[in-house]
Amino acid sequence: MDYLVDRVKVETDAPVRARMLTEALQLSNDTVSHIPLHDQVIPWAMKKNVELVHRADNRVDMLTVKIN
């Protein structure tokens, strides 16, 4: 993994870089390089006529709110 990370940092050929990133992600998946210890679920409740985008940072962007 260290070798792949070091190579990806300096690789300028996009297809080669993409292959190396894919290989690194597959290696990480195959070797179970980490175990998530926390998975926070944030419940949202709203009326059926309200739509909004649930952002990754859990902030409400009022520009994405739609009321039908």
How many C-beta atoms lie closer than 10 Å to residue 21's C-beta? 14
pLDDT score of 8:
94
Provide the pLDDT for residue 15: 96
* Whole-structure pTM value: 0.50
Give residue 46's pLDDT: 80
How far lies 36's CA from each of 5, 8, 48, 54, 55, in Å? 21, 25, 33, 22, 21
Query: Over its length of 68 residues, how does the chain's per-residue pLDDT go in tens digits?
Result: 899 999 999 999 999 999 999 999 999 889 887 787 877 777 777 888 998 888 878 888 889 899 99
